[in-house]
Structure 1
């Protein structure tokens, strides 16, 4: 597979491309919609419908006597439709490239920007891109690998799959052709657990969409990672509307309205904790752009994801509601008797659970603090028959009255 651009050579090995009749018909339609003399421009050449003289194309009066004019260094004038078709066939890569993005993809919005980004269409030449597409251009999007290729008619085809399945033969995966089938693929993780956050790095693999057209490829990606392309595009255009913590919490009502009570003029340390818990790259593939408010940044890194997070999501709000209630409890001091190794073990257990590493710790590896048998031993030693940790409050309960 090729990266975005092929290895540097004097002349890229551009694959042979046939000019399909649909692309040629689209050129004729585009010319018919333009004023005579107004050129239709492609990479390296232009075509104009003969008629009135036009300074923009510097066509002479004899050039515009009838038919079409093609300018590609030389000037070919008075071309019939048949002659124009033959002339454009010599420039089939450029014409099919125009056709794909102008007529197949269409709209100047997130879909077009994303598909052009996949093959660096705004930076590389048609020749360089077609040479790279012939090998396959791979791009990463979250946990996805998207591979773009080109057919001998200049059509784009896309393979969308989990990055862990990169290079796996398609007959070893579950193949799909309807992008909406992705809705079922993103519901559960590989252990069968529900995924409340679609951008969590817990996407299960074993499937592929091996032969999608441009519109379906975009639809599949947006189904797997909703709104990520749209927000990525808004950010590129300088139009990403970010809603920070305070304004998002101010909108909460009902059972979630309690989160607003967490702001007590004591700074934003509690929001740092929320962001560190929920928004780290290990928990979410988005790059957090929201802060405490317009004037106050959080002290926690926002991550490195390619697509931005413009506001606290429902998972963050729901977790913050629970933590608001828990943090409202008055702290108390407890005394426990732990050996130094047991204290380190408690730290290891918390770290392993927080980082999702429990399943990586082998049962026989009792050197690991979060090892299951070692943890069961600690529970047997420290918990009473009711399952309570056998510590005692260092302060009396209640308000201190005897």
Structure 2
């Protein structure tokens, strides 16, 4: 996860300082929203912005149908009896704070996953408006899985977002396929770069070559949630201490039909098999989520849950489906097979398994025969060890009926 730092000049004392915030004009819709918020509001409860508050002034409301206003600066030197025009002038001088309030209170809307996510992008709960606006003027970058989200600001204080694959950072927009409807992301996430179907949307196999270059706050959130469904919602629940985790045993106990067989794996077996499942499926190399589910409420798994920014609250359908297959495979009785391998051939078999498990086979060059999983070297091993029926060492998988007699 990367936070951007705008280009900065070196100050005289040697410390880097941020550039000045961009000049912001107070748009009429933001000012109208302030007036609407003050309508009917108790004068003793000002509408708060960073560094000051605004309220209707009780001084002379009967003589002025529109009423007058009061500005309560942080220095406790209030300006009272302001007309609407004077209030507009005062707020225009403080346009960054007003447009920041308007962006989140009116454009983004009520507090929830969307608002928390968009505020997190620009560290709105930790940095001042001036600091954030200076950073937004240069562009704030955040990573979300394989996405790179860049937030910028207009001279009206409006947020704009560029959403693209992280691998396409710095690529000019006209060299990418540009979209403006966040729902177009549904088609972009179906296939990986090789055209293969992606059953797991949080797998690190998102294809690039596209961009949503100019989204508003709501559409930016929608695009991210379309690429990675429910990730922002679960991230927000976790931040609020409300993430509801369903562990392995509870998930398996509710399986039925063809998936009910998974429940038989828990009978007297301990939970070592669940460690194997988690190691196979829930590693950072396979899924961008951070696994938060364990074996049960009292028993943690022995494998790491990953480092993803968004949590995984329960075993997903891919894990359940794989576990069903492994349940059947593990129900087979073990047998002893004897093969003769040289030490180098044994290590090569290990290399092949590792390369396939880690998805590295495409990275191994044909000419690099030092690699155990090299294609030509593996074909040589097959030619040497397989018989004409494709059986390793000529040893059948199923023994003859008279074996052992």
Q: Fold conserved (TM > 0.5)?
A: yes
Q: Which residue of 1 aligns with 2:12?
A: none
Kindly indicate whether the alpha-carbon contact (under 8 Å) linking 2:59 and 2:81 is maintained by their aligned counterparts in 1: no
Residue 242 of structure 1: CA displacement?
Answer: 0.2
Shift of 1:51: 2.1
Aligned length: 391
User: Is 1:3 paired with 2:4?
Assistant: yes
Match of 1:146 among 142, 146, 149: 149
Equivalent residue for 2:270, pick from 257, 263, 267: 267
Question: Taking structure 2 as the reference length, what is the TM-score of the superposition?
Answer: 0.93
- 2:103 corresponds in structure 1 to 100
Instruction: Report the CA distance between 1:99 and its aligned residue.
Output: 0.1
How far, CA to CA, are the matches of 1:134 and 1:266 in structure 2? 58
**3-state DSSP class of the match of 1:78?**
strand
Q: 1:33 to 1:3 in 2, by over 3 A?
A: farther
Q: Give the equivalent residue in structure 1 for 2:70.
A: 69
Change (3 A) 1:10 1:372: closer
> Alignment partner for residue 173 of structure 2, among 170, 176, 183?
170
**Aligned: 1:15 with 2:22:** yes
Q: Say yes or no: does 1:311 pair with 2:314.
A: yes
1:371 partnered with 2:368: no
Tell me the residue number matched to 1:56.
none
Q: Distance in 1 between matches of 2:93 and 2:18?
A: 17
CA RMSD of aligned residues (A): 2.1
- Work out which of the residue numbers 356, 359, 384 in structure 1 matches 2:387: 384
State the alpha-carbon separation in 1 of the partners of residues 7 and 59 from structure 2.
43
- Give the drift of 1:75: 1.7
Aligned to 1:58: none
Equivalent of 1:78 in 61, 81, 85: 81
CA contact (8 A) 2:192 2:205 kept: yes
Alpha-carbon distance change, 49 to 9 in structure 1, aligned in 2, over 3 angstroms:
farther
**Runs of at least 5 residues in structure 1 that lack an aligned partner in the other structure:** 54-64
Residue 39 of structure 1 is matched in structure 2 by 46
Equivalent pair of 1:335/1:393 in contact (CA under 8 Å) = no
Q: Quick one: distance in 1 between partners of 2:48 and 2:181?
A: 35
SS at match of 1:392: coil
Q: Secondary structure at the match of 2:157?
A: coil
Which runs of structure 2 are paired with 1:197-236 in the superposition (5 Å)?
Answer: 197-236=200-239
Q: Secondary structure at the match of 1:157?
A: strand
The answer to whether residue 300 in structure 2 is matched with residue 293 in structure 1 is no
Alpha-carbon spacing, 1:195–1:394, altered in 2? closer, same or farther (3 Å): closer
- 2:162 equivalent among 159, 162, 165: 159
Residues 18 and 135 of structure 2 are in contact (CA less than 8 Å); yes or no, is this contact kept in structure 1?
no
Residue 121, structure 1, aligned to residue 124, structure 2: yes
